Structure 1
Amino acid sequence: MADIGAGTGIMTKKFLDQGFNVYAVEPNEEMRMAAKEYLKDYKGFILINGSAENKTLDNQTIDLIVVAQAFHWFNMKNFREESQRILKPHGKVAIISNERITEDTINKEIAETYYKYCPNFKGFSNGLMGSTEIYDNFFLGSYTLKTYDNPLIYNKSTFIGRHMSSSFSLTEDDPMYPMLVESLSNLFDKHSKDGYLILPNITKCWCGIINR
Protein backbone atom coordinates (compact mmCIF):
# COMPACT_ATOMS: atom_id res chain seq x y z
CA MET A 1 0.00 0.00 0.00
CA ALA A 2 1.00 3.64 -0.39
CA ASP A 3 0.43 6.44 2.11
CA ILE A 4 0.39 9.65 0.06
CA GLY A 5 1.31 12.86 1.83
CA ALA A 6 2.59 10.73 4.70
CA GLY A 7 4.02 13.67 6.62
CA THR A 8 5.85 12.56 9.76
CA GLY A 9 4.42 9.05 9.54
CA ILE A 10 1.61 9.13 12.09
CA MET A 11 -0.90 7.30 9.88
CA THR A 12 1.83 5.19 8.27
CA LYS A 13 2.66 3.71 11.68
CA LYS A 14 -0.91 2.51 12.17
CA PHE A 15 -0.71 0.46 8.97
CA LEU A 16 2.77 -0.84 9.75
CA ASP A 17 1.49 -1.98 13.14
CA GLN A 18 -1.10 -4.07 11.28
CA GLY A 19 1.64 -5.83 9.31
CA PHE A 20 1.34 -4.00 5.99
CA ASN A 21 4.28 -3.01 3.83
CA VAL A 22 3.86 0.72 3.29
CA TYR A 23 5.36 3.12 0.77
CA ALA A 24 5.30 6.48 2.57
CA VAL A 25 5.31 9.20 -0.10
CA GLU A 26 6.17 12.70 1.16
CA PRO A 27 7.59 15.70 -0.77
CA ASN A 28 8.66 17.77 2.25
CA GLU A 29 12.22 16.89 3.28
CA GLU A 30 11.86 17.92 6.92
CA MET A 31 8.75 15.81 7.39
CA ARG A 32 10.29 12.95 5.44
CA MET A 33 13.34 12.90 7.71
CA ALA A 34 11.09 12.98 10.77
CA ALA A 35 9.19 9.96 9.43
CA LYS A 36 12.47 8.19 8.70
CA GLU A 37 13.56 8.55 12.32
CA TYR A 38 10.11 7.76 13.74
CA LEU A 39 9.64 4.55 11.73
CA LYS A 40 13.24 3.36 11.34
CA ASP A 41 12.62 0.07 13.15
CA TYR A 42 9.84 -1.14 10.83
CA LYS A 43 10.97 -3.57 8.12
CA GLY A 44 7.93 -2.87 5.97
CA PHE A 45 8.54 0.89 5.85
CA ILE A 46 9.68 2.28 2.49
CA LEU A 47 10.20 6.05 2.36
CA ILE A 48 9.68 7.77 -1.00
CA ASN A 49 10.59 11.31 -2.02
CA GLY A 50 7.59 12.09 -4.19
CA SER A 51 4.26 13.87 -4.42
CA ALA A 52 0.63 12.97 -4.97
CA GLU A 53 1.01 13.80 -8.65
CA ASN A 54 4.43 12.16 -9.11
CA LYS A 55 4.84 9.23 -6.74
CA THR A 56 7.84 7.65 -8.55
CA LEU A 57 6.38 4.17 -7.96
CA ASP A 58 6.23 1.49 -10.65
CA ASN A 59 3.12 0.82 -12.74
CA GLN A 60 0.39 -1.40 -11.24
CA THR A 61 2.27 -2.25 -8.04
CA ILE A 62 -0.08 -0.93 -5.32
CA ASP A 63 -3.20 -2.55 -3.87
CA LEU A 64 -4.36 0.41 -1.80
CA ILE A 65 -3.63 4.14 -1.79
CA VAL A 66 -4.39 5.99 1.44
CA VAL A 67 -4.59 9.75 1.83
CA ALA A 68 -5.09 11.21 5.31
CA GLN A 69 -5.79 14.91 5.80
CA ALA A 70 -3.99 15.95 2.59
CA PHE A 71 -6.48 15.39 -0.24
CA HIS A 72 -7.63 19.01 -0.54
CA TRP A 73 -4.06 20.08 -1.42
CA PHE A 74 -3.75 17.80 -4.45
CA ASN A 75 -4.22 18.54 -8.14
CA MET A 76 -7.22 16.24 -8.57
CA LYS A 77 -6.74 15.45 -12.26
CA ASN A 78 -3.03 14.64 -11.95
CA PHE A 79 -3.47 12.70 -8.71
CA ARG A 80 -6.23 10.62 -10.27
CA GLU A 81 -4.14 9.79 -13.34
CA GLU A 82 -1.10 8.95 -11.24
CA SER A 83 -3.19 6.75 -8.95
CA GLN A 84 -4.57 4.88 -11.95
CA ARG A 85 -1.01 4.29 -13.13
CA ILE A 86 0.36 2.74 -9.92
CA LEU A 87 -2.73 0.82 -8.76
CA LYS A 88 -3.14 -2.84 -9.58
CA PRO A 89 -6.38 -3.81 -11.36
CA HIS A 90 -9.21 -3.42 -8.82
CA GLY A 91 -6.89 -1.53 -6.46
CA LYS A 92 -8.59 1.10 -4.31
CA VAL A 93 -8.09 4.60 -2.99
CA ALA A 94 -9.11 5.50 0.57
CA ILE A 95 -9.36 9.17 1.54
CA ILE A 96 -9.53 9.87 5.27
CA SER A 97 -10.47 13.23 6.68
CA ASN A 98 -11.24 14.70 10.08
CA GLU A 99 -14.15 17.11 9.94
CA ARG A 100 -15.23 19.48 12.67
CA ILE A 101 -18.86 19.56 13.68
CA THR A 102 -19.25 23.14 12.59
CA GLU A 103 -22.64 23.63 14.24
CA ASP A 104 -21.01 23.27 17.65
CA THR A 105 -20.34 26.51 19.54
CA ILE A 106 -16.59 26.02 20.04
CA ASN A 107 -15.98 25.32 16.35
CA LYS A 108 -18.06 28.35 15.37
CA GLU A 109 -15.98 30.54 17.66
CA ILE A 110 -12.71 29.10 16.34
CA ALA A 111 -13.85 29.88 12.79
CA GLU A 112 -14.80 33.42 13.81
CA THR A 113 -11.34 33.86 15.33
CA TYR A 114 -9.63 32.65 12.17
CA TYR A 115 -11.76 34.91 9.96
CA LYS A 116 -10.85 37.86 12.18
CA TYR A 117 -7.08 37.35 12.23
CA CYS A 118 -6.14 35.08 9.29
CA PRO A 119 -6.70 36.55 5.81
CA ASN A 120 -5.99 33.19 4.14
CA PHE A 121 -8.67 31.31 6.08
CA LYS A 122 -11.39 30.16 3.66
CA GLY A 123 -13.17 27.79 6.00
CA PHE A 124 -12.09 24.51 7.54
CA SER A 125 -10.53 22.06 5.04
CA ASN A 126 -10.10 24.98 2.66
CA GLY A 127 -13.86 25.44 2.46
CA LEU A 128 -14.49 21.91 1.19
CA MET A 129 -15.84 20.44 4.41
CA GLY A 130 -19.27 18.90 4.02
CA SER A 131 -19.08 18.97 0.22
CA THR A 132 -19.30 15.70 -1.71
CA GLU A 133 -18.66 17.19 -5.16
CA ILE A 134 -14.89 16.78 -5.02
CA TYR A 135 -15.23 13.09 -4.12
CA ASP A 136 -17.99 12.48 -6.66
CA ASN A 137 -15.71 13.89 -9.35
CA PHE A 138 -12.66 11.96 -8.19
CA PHE A 139 -14.33 8.55 -7.90
CA LEU A 140 -16.92 9.31 -10.60
CA GLY A 141 -19.59 8.55 -8.01
CA SER A 142 -18.39 5.00 -7.33
CA TYR A 143 -17.34 4.90 -3.67
CA THR A 144 -18.48 4.05 -0.17
CA LEU A 145 -18.46 6.54 2.69
CA LYS A 146 -18.14 5.61 6.35
CA THR A 147 -18.37 8.11 9.18
CA TYR A 148 -17.10 7.70 12.73
CA ASP A 149 -17.44 9.84 15.83
CA ASN A 150 -13.93 10.96 16.80
CA PRO A 151 -13.89 13.79 19.36
CA LEU A 152 -10.46 15.35 19.78
CA ILE A 153 -9.08 16.05 23.25
CA TYR A 154 -6.60 18.87 23.87
CA ASN A 155 -4.83 20.51 26.77
CA LYS A 156 -4.12 24.21 26.41
CA SER A 157 -0.69 23.75 24.84
CA THR A 158 -1.83 21.22 22.24
CA PHE A 159 -5.00 23.20 21.48
CA ILE A 160 -3.08 26.39 20.73
CA GLY A 161 -0.30 24.51 18.93
CA ARG A 162 -2.79 22.67 16.71
CA HIS A 163 -4.60 25.85 15.73
CA MET A 164 -1.43 27.86 15.15
CA SER A 165 0.04 25.16 12.90
CA SER A 166 -2.66 25.36 10.22
CA SER A 167 -1.40 26.44 6.81
CA PHE A 168 -3.54 29.58 6.86
CA SER A 169 -2.48 30.61 10.37
CA LEU A 170 -0.11 33.47 11.16
CA THR A 171 3.66 33.32 11.55
CA GLU A 172 5.42 34.69 14.61
CA ASP A 173 6.60 37.81 12.77
CA ASP A 174 3.02 38.84 11.96
CA PRO A 175 1.90 41.79 14.14
CA MET A 176 -1.45 40.05 14.74
CA TYR A 177 0.21 36.83 15.95
CA PRO A 178 0.05 37.64 19.71
CA MET A 179 -3.63 38.57 19.43
CA LEU A 180 -4.46 35.31 17.68
CA VAL A 181 -2.66 33.31 20.37
CA GLU A 182 -4.46 35.27 23.09
CA SER A 183 -7.84 34.70 21.45
CA LEU A 184 -7.23 30.96 21.19
CA SER A 185 -6.09 30.90 24.80
CA ASN A 186 -9.28 32.65 25.86
CA LEU A 187 -11.38 30.18 23.87
CA PHE A 188 -9.68 27.30 25.62
CA ASP A 189 -10.29 28.84 29.04
CA LYS A 190 -13.94 29.43 28.17
CA HIS A 191 -14.72 25.92 26.95
CA SER A 192 -12.29 23.65 28.82
CA LYS A 193 -13.01 21.60 31.91
CA ASP A 194 -10.38 20.36 34.36
CA GLY A 195 -7.62 21.46 31.99
CA TYR A 196 -8.94 19.72 28.87
CA LEU A 197 -11.11 20.69 25.93
CA ILE A 198 -13.11 18.21 23.86
CA LEU A 199 -13.48 19.34 20.26
CA PRO A 200 -16.49 17.80 18.46
CA ASN A 201 -15.18 15.99 15.38
CA ILE A 202 -16.02 13.18 13.00
CA THR A 203 -13.73 11.09 10.80
CA LYS A 204 -14.87 10.23 7.29
CA CYS A 205 -13.43 7.61 4.95
CA TRP A 206 -14.23 7.62 1.23
CA CYS A 207 -13.10 4.40 -0.45
CA GLY A 208 -13.50 3.21 -4.00
CA ILE A 209 -12.03 1.99 -7.27
CA ILE A 210 -10.96 4.62 -9.79
CA ASN A 211 -12.45 3.56 -13.09
CA ARG A 212 -10.13 3.83 -16.05
Structure 2
Amino acid sequence: MKSNDKFTGKAEVYAKYRPSYPPEYIEYLISEAILKEDSIIADIGSGTGIFSNQLLERGYSVIGVEPNDDMRTVAEQNLMTDSRFISIKGTAENTTLNDNSIDLVTVAQAFHWFDMELFKLECQRILKQDGRVALVWNSRDGSSDINKESAEVCQKYCPNFKGFSGGIEETPIAFQQFFKDGKYDLNYFRNDLQFNLSGFLGRYLSASYSPKKTDEEYHPFITALSNLFEKYSNHGQIVIPNITRSYLGKV
Protein backbone atom coordinates (compact mmCIF):
# COMPACT_ATOMS: atom_id res chain seq x y z
CA MET A 1 0.00 0.00 0.00
CA LYS A 2 1.34 3.41 -0.97
CA SER A 3 1.79 5.90 1.90
CA ASN A 4 -0.81 8.15 0.23
CA ASP A 5 -3.43 5.44 0.76
CA LYS A 6 -2.66 4.46 4.34
CA PHE A 7 -5.31 6.79 5.80
CA THR A 8 -8.07 6.01 3.31
CA GLY A 9 -11.20 5.26 5.32
CA LYS A 10 -9.76 6.83 8.48
CA ALA A 11 -10.36 10.52 7.77
CA GLU A 12 -13.43 10.99 9.98
CA VAL A 13 -11.93 9.29 13.04
CA TYR A 14 -8.62 11.10 12.39
CA ALA A 15 -10.28 14.50 12.36
CA LYS A 16 -12.30 13.71 15.48
CA TYR A 17 -9.63 12.22 17.72
CA ARG A 18 -6.21 13.47 16.63
CA PRO A 19 -4.88 16.22 18.93
CA SER A 20 -3.96 19.76 18.00
CA TYR A 21 -0.68 21.43 18.94
CA PRO A 22 -0.02 23.50 22.07
CA PRO A 23 -0.43 27.30 21.92
CA GLU A 24 3.16 27.68 23.14
CA TYR A 25 4.37 25.92 20.01
CA ILE A 26 2.29 28.13 17.72
CA GLU A 27 3.69 31.24 19.43
CA TYR A 28 7.22 29.90 19.09
CA LEU A 29 6.73 29.14 15.40
CA ILE A 30 5.31 32.57 14.59
CA SER A 31 8.22 34.26 16.36
CA GLU A 32 11.11 32.09 15.17
CA ALA A 33 9.89 31.83 11.56
CA ILE A 34 9.51 35.63 11.55
CA LEU A 35 6.00 35.47 10.13
CA LYS A 36 4.27 38.65 9.03
CA GLU A 37 0.60 39.40 8.47
CA ASP A 38 0.88 38.69 4.75
CA SER A 39 3.01 35.55 5.11
CA ILE A 40 1.89 32.54 3.08
CA ILE A 41 2.23 29.11 4.67
CA ALA A 42 2.22 25.81 2.79
CA ASP A 43 1.06 22.98 5.07
CA ILE A 44 2.35 19.85 3.33
CA GLY A 45 0.64 16.56 4.07
CA SER A 46 -2.10 18.68 5.64
CA GLY A 47 -4.45 15.73 6.20
CA THR A 48 -7.78 16.74 7.70
CA GLY A 49 -6.49 20.26 8.38
CA ILE A 50 -5.83 20.09 12.11
CA PHE A 51 -2.63 22.14 11.97
CA SER A 52 -3.80 24.29 9.05
CA ASN A 53 -6.76 25.35 11.17
CA GLN A 54 -4.53 26.52 14.01
CA LEU A 55 -2.55 28.67 11.58
CA LEU A 56 -5.72 30.07 10.03
CA GLU A 57 -6.96 30.99 13.49
CA ARG A 58 -3.90 33.20 13.84
CA GLY A 59 -4.79 35.06 10.63
CA TYR A 60 -2.37 33.53 8.14
CA SER A 61 -3.05 32.40 4.59
CA VAL A 62 -2.58 28.64 4.36
CA ILE A 63 -2.26 26.35 1.35
CA GLY A 64 -3.03 22.77 2.34
CA VAL A 65 -1.33 20.20 0.12
CA GLU A 66 -2.70 16.68 0.62
CA PRO A 67 -2.67 13.66 -1.74
CA ASN A 68 -5.27 11.51 0.04
CA ASP A 69 -8.76 12.27 -1.23
CA ASP A 70 -10.55 11.23 1.98
CA MET A 71 -8.36 13.35 4.22
CA ARG A 72 -8.40 16.36 1.90
CA THR A 73 -12.19 16.26 1.57
CA VAL A 74 -12.64 16.47 5.34
CA ALA A 75 -10.23 19.42 5.50
CA GLU A 76 -12.16 21.19 2.77
CA GLN A 77 -15.47 20.59 4.51
CA ASN A 78 -14.09 22.00 7.76
CA LEU A 79 -11.99 24.91 6.46
CA MET A 80 -13.22 26.13 3.10
CA THR A 81 -15.47 28.73 4.73
CA ASP A 82 -12.22 30.60 5.46
CA SER A 83 -11.17 32.48 2.32
CA ARG A 84 -7.52 32.32 3.40
CA PHE A 85 -7.45 28.53 2.99
CA ILE A 86 -6.58 26.96 -0.36
CA SER A 87 -6.75 23.19 -0.80
CA ILE A 88 -4.55 21.44 -3.37
CA LYS A 89 -4.25 17.81 -4.36
CA GLY A 90 -0.51 17.33 -4.46
CA THR A 91 2.35 15.47 -2.84
CA ALA A 92 5.30 16.56 -0.76
CA GLU A 93 7.56 15.81 -3.69
CA ASN A 94 5.34 17.57 -6.25
CA THR A 95 3.25 20.26 -4.57
CA THR A 96 2.39 22.09 -7.85
CA LEU A 97 3.04 25.39 -6.01
CA ASN A 98 4.83 28.29 -7.72
CA ASP A 99 8.56 28.92 -7.42
CA ASN A 100 9.68 31.21 -4.58
CA SER A 101 6.10 31.74 -3.39
CA ILE A 102 6.05 30.42 0.20
CA ASP A 103 7.27 32.04 3.43
CA LEU A 104 7.01 28.92 5.62
CA VAL A 105 6.56 25.22 4.91
CA THR A 106 4.96 23.25 7.74
CA VAL A 107 4.72 19.48 8.07
CA ALA A 108 2.64 18.19 10.97
CA GLN A 109 2.74 14.48 11.70
CA ALA A 110 3.68 13.59 8.12
CA PHE A 111 7.40 14.00 7.33
CA HIS A 112 8.11 10.31 7.94
CA TRP A 113 5.93 9.48 4.90
CA PHE A 114 7.93 11.66 2.49
CA ASP A 115 10.87 10.99 0.19
CA MET A 116 13.21 13.23 2.14
CA GLU A 117 15.58 14.20 -0.68
CA LEU A 118 12.83 14.96 -3.20
CA PHE A 119 10.87 16.91 -0.60
CA LYS A 120 13.98 18.94 0.23
CA LEU A 121 14.36 19.88 -3.42
CA GLU A 122 10.68 20.84 -3.60
CA CYS A 123 11.03 23.05 -0.51
CA GLN A 124 14.06 24.77 -2.02
CA ARG A 125 11.99 25.45 -5.12
CA ILE A 126 8.82 26.85 -3.53
CA LEU A 127 10.30 28.75 -0.56
CA LYS A 128 11.27 32.39 -0.68
CA GLN A 129 14.93 33.22 0.00
CA ASP A 130 14.68 33.30 3.79
CA GLY A 131 11.84 30.80 4.09
CA ARG A 132 12.00 28.01 6.63
CA VAL A 133 10.63 24.52 7.11
CA ALA A 134 8.91 23.45 10.33
CA LEU A 135 8.55 19.74 11.08
CA VAL A 136 6.39 18.85 14.07
CA TRP A 137 5.06 15.71 15.73
CA ASN A 138 2.82 14.97 18.66
CA SER A 139 4.80 12.10 20.18
CA ARG A 140 3.89 9.84 23.05
CA ASP A 141 6.23 10.13 26.02
CA GLY A 142 7.99 6.77 25.78
CA SER A 143 8.99 6.79 29.44
CA SER A 144 5.40 6.35 30.66
CA ASP A 145 3.96 2.93 31.51
CA ILE A 146 0.72 3.46 29.61
CA ASN A 147 2.60 4.30 26.42
CA LYS A 148 4.96 1.35 26.83
CA GLU A 149 2.05 -1.04 27.30
CA SER A 150 0.01 0.43 24.45
CA ALA A 151 3.02 -0.04 22.17
CA GLU A 152 3.07 -3.72 23.16
CA VAL A 153 -0.62 -3.98 22.27
CA CYS A 154 0.00 -2.38 18.88
CA GLN A 155 2.98 -4.66 18.28
CA LYS A 156 0.79 -7.70 18.97
CA TYR A 157 -2.32 -6.80 17.00
CA CYS A 158 -1.14 -4.39 14.27
CA PRO A 159 0.93 -6.17 11.59
CA ASN A 160 2.05 -2.85 10.08
CA PHE A 161 3.13 -1.29 13.39
CA LYS A 162 6.73 -0.06 13.25
CA GLY A 163 6.55 2.23 16.25
CA PHE A 164 4.54 5.37 16.90
CA SER A 165 4.83 8.09 14.23
CA GLY A 166 6.03 5.55 11.70
CA GLY A 167 8.81 4.46 14.04
CA ILE A 168 10.46 7.84 13.97
CA GLU A 169 11.28 7.71 17.69
CA GLU A 170 12.99 4.34 17.29
CA THR A 171 14.75 5.12 13.99
CA PRO A 172 15.35 8.88 13.89
CA ILE A 173 15.40 10.45 10.45
CA ALA A 174 18.66 12.15 9.48
CA PHE A 175 17.49 15.71 10.08
CA GLN A 176 21.06 16.90 9.61
CA GLN A 177 20.84 15.73 6.01
CA PHE A 178 17.55 17.54 5.46
CA PHE A 179 18.28 20.96 6.91
CA LYS A 180 20.80 23.36 5.37
CA ASP A 181 24.34 22.80 6.71
CA GLY A 182 22.84 20.36 9.20
CA LYS A 183 21.55 23.23 11.34
CA TYR A 184 18.09 23.35 12.90
CA ASP A 185 16.36 24.30 16.12
CA LEU A 186 14.96 21.37 18.10
CA ASN A 187 12.39 22.15 20.78
CA TYR A 188 9.96 20.21 22.96
CA PHE A 189 6.58 21.32 24.25
CA ARG A 190 4.49 19.42 26.79
CA ASN A 191 1.13 18.42 25.33
CA ASP A 192 -0.44 15.73 27.51
CA LEU A 193 -3.72 14.36 26.14
CA GLN A 194 -6.87 13.54 28.09
CA PHE A 195 -9.46 11.10 26.73
CA ASN A 196 -12.57 9.22 27.71
CA LEU A 197 -12.82 5.62 26.47
CA SER A 198 -14.19 6.48 23.02
CA GLY A 199 -11.52 9.13 22.55
CA PHE A 200 -8.77 6.77 23.71
CA LEU A 201 -9.88 4.09 21.26
CA GLY A 202 -10.42 6.64 18.51
CA ARG A 203 -6.89 7.98 18.87
CA TYR A 204 -5.47 4.52 18.20
CA LEU A 205 -7.95 3.68 15.44
CA SER A 206 -6.86 6.84 13.59
CA ALA A 207 -3.35 5.44 13.17
CA SER A 208 -2.20 4.20 9.77
CA TYR A 209 -1.25 0.83 11.26
CA SER A 210 -4.47 0.16 13.18
CA PRO A 211 -6.71 -2.69 12.00
CA LYS A 212 -10.03 -1.94 10.33
CA LYS A 213 -13.34 -3.49 11.39
CA THR A 214 -13.05 -6.11 8.67
CA ASP A 215 -9.63 -7.31 9.97
CA GLU A 216 -9.47 -10.29 12.33
CA GLU A 217 -7.22 -8.35 14.69
CA TYR A 218 -9.77 -5.56 15.17
CA HIS A 219 -11.82 -6.93 18.07
CA PRO A 220 -8.84 -8.31 20.05
CA PHE A 221 -7.13 -4.94 19.52
CA ILE A 222 -10.14 -3.05 20.90
CA THR A 223 -10.43 -5.43 23.85
CA ALA A 224 -6.74 -5.05 24.76
CA LEU A 225 -6.93 -1.26 24.55
CA SER A 226 -10.13 -1.19 26.62
CA ASN A 227 -8.38 -3.25 29.30
CA LEU A 228 -5.52 -0.74 29.29
CA PHE A 229 -8.00 2.11 29.68
CA GLU A 230 -9.62 0.34 32.63
CA LYS A 231 -6.21 -0.15 34.24
CA TYR A 232 -4.99 3.45 33.91
CA SER A 233 -8.14 5.59 33.82
CA ASN A 234 -9.57 7.58 36.70
CA HIS A 235 -13.27 8.50 36.84
CA GLY A 236 -13.69 7.65 33.18
CA GLN A 237 -10.72 9.72 31.98
CA ILE A 238 -7.17 8.83 31.01
CA VAL A 239 -4.13 11.06 30.53
CA ILE A 240 -1.64 10.10 27.83
CA PRO A 241 1.78 11.71 28.41
CA ASN A 242 2.59 13.44 25.14
CA ILE A 243 5.35 15.72 23.85
CA THR A 244 5.22 18.01 20.81
CA ARG A 245 8.60 17.84 19.03
CA SER A 246 9.57 20.67 16.70
CA TYR A 247 12.36 20.94 14.13
CA LEU A 248 12.78 24.31 12.44
CA GLY A 249 15.37 25.49 9.96
CA LYS A 250 16.31 26.45 6.42
CA VAL A 251 16.86 23.95 3.64
TM-score of the pair, normalised by structure 1: 0.95
Q: 2:210 maps to which residue?
A: 169
Ranges in structure 1 where 5+ consecutive residues have no aligned partner: none
Give per-residue Cα distances to partners, 1:61-117, cap 9 Å, x unaligned.
Answer: 001000000010001011111111000101100001111111210001001111111
Ranges in structure 2 where 5+ consecutive residues have no aligned partner: 1-40
Note the 1:119-134 alignment, pairs <5 A.
119-129=159-169, 132-134=172-174
- State the shift of 1:131 in Å: 5.5
Q: Give the letter aligned to residue 122 of structure 1.
A: K
Counterpart selection for 2:155 from 115, 123, 126 = 115
Give per-residue Cα distances to partners, 1:4-38, cap 9 Å, x unaligned.
Answer: 11111111111111111111111111221211111
C-alpha separation in 2, matches of 1:192 and 1:184:
12
C-alpha separation in 1, matches of 2:115 and 2:211:
25
Q: How many residues align?
A: 210
Q: 1:69 maps to which residue?
A: 109
1:102 aligns with 2:112: no
| Structure 1 residue runs of 4 or more that deviate by more than 3 Å after TM superposition | 130-133
SS at the partner of 2:227? helix
Counterpart selection for 1:138 from 168, 178, 195 = 178
C-alpha separation in 2, matches of 1:133 and 1:56:
25
Q: 1:35 maps to which residue?
A: 75
Give per-residue Cα distances to partners, 1:173-194, cap 9 Å, x unaligned.
Answer: 2222111100001101110111
C-alpha separation in 2, matches of 1:112 and 1:129:
15
TM-score of the pair, normalised by structure 2: 0.81
Q: 1:20 maps to which residue?
A: 60
Q: 2:240 maps to which residue?
A: 199
Matched-pair identity in %: 47
1:181 aligns with 2:181: no
C-alpha separation in 1, matches of 2:118 and 2:62:
22
C-alpha separation in 2, matches of 1:159 and 1:67:
24
C-alpha separation in 1, matches of 2:174 and 2:227:
35
C-alpha separation in 1, matches of 2:123 and 2:167:
24
- State the shift of 1:133 in Å: 4.4
Q: 1:133 to 1:31 in 2, by over 3 A?
A: closer
Q: Give the letter aligned to residue 199 of structure 2.
A: T
Q: 1:85 maps to which residue?
A: 125
SS at the partner of 2:182? coil
C-alpha separation in 2, matches of 1:164 and 1:19:
32
C-alpha separation in 2, matches of 1:195 and 1:179:
21
SS at the partner of 1:103? coil
RMSD of aligned Cα (Å): 1.2
